[in-house]
Amino acid sequence: MNILLTGAGGQIGADLVSALVAEGHRVVATDLRPQPERPGATWRQLDVTHAGDVDAIIHDVRPDVVYHLAAILSASGERNPTLAYEVNQTGTWHLLEACRRHAVPRFIYTSSIAVYGPGLPDPCPDDVPLHPTTMYGVTKASGEMLCEYYAKKHGLDCRGVRFPGLISASLPGGGSTDYALFMYVDGIRRGGYESFARADTRVPLMYMPDGVRALLELAAAPRERLARTIYNIAAFSPRADEIAASVARAVPGVTITYAPDPLRQSILDSWPRALDDRNARADWGWRPRYTLDAMTDDLVPKIRALLAGGANLAH
Q: Is the pLDDT of residue 28 over 90?
A: yes
Q: What is the pTM of this model?
A: 0.95
Annotate 155-187 with b (16+ C-beta within 10 A) or e (fewer).
ebbbbbbbbbbbbbbbbbbbbbbbbbbbbbbbb
Q: Which of 67, 109, 116, 136 is catalytic?
A: 136
Average pLDDT for 147-164: 98
Average pLDDT for 62-88: 95
Q: Considering only 169-173, 196-200, 210-214, 303-307, which range has the smallest mean pLDDT? A: 169-173
The predicted pLDDT at position 314 comes to 61
At 201-212, the pLDDT tens digits run: 999 999 999 999
Q: Is the pLDDT of residue 253 over 70?
A: yes
Nearest CA-CA partner of 95 in 71, 113, 77, 119: 71
Q: Is the pLDDT of residue 16 over 90?
A: yes
pLDDT confidence of 189, banded at 50, 70, 90? very high
For the chain, the average pLDDT equals 95
The predicted pLDDT at position 185 comes to 94
Average pLDDT for 23-34: 93
Q: Is domain 2-166+206-232 given the CATH code 3.40.50.720 in the classification?
A: yes
138's enclosing H/E stretch is helix 135-154
298: how many CB neighbours lie within 10 A of its CB?
Answer: 13
For the chain, domain boundaries: 2-166+206-232, 167-203+236-272+290-308
Fold of 167-203+236-272+290-308: UDP-galactose 4-epimerase; domain 1 (3.90.25)
Q: Which residues is 4 bridged to in the sheet? A: 28, 66
Average pLDDT for 290-303: 97
Nearest CA-CA partner of 202 in 242, 255, 174: 242
Establish whether 136 is a catalytic residue.
Answer: yes
Q: Is the pLDDT of residue 287 over 80?
A: yes
At 127-146, the pLDDT tens digits run: 999 999 999 999 999 999 99
The predicted pLDDT at position 315 comes to 61
Nearest CA-CA partner of 71 in 63, 83, 62: 83
Within this chain, domains 2-166+206-232 and 167-203+236-272+290-308 share the same CATH topology: no
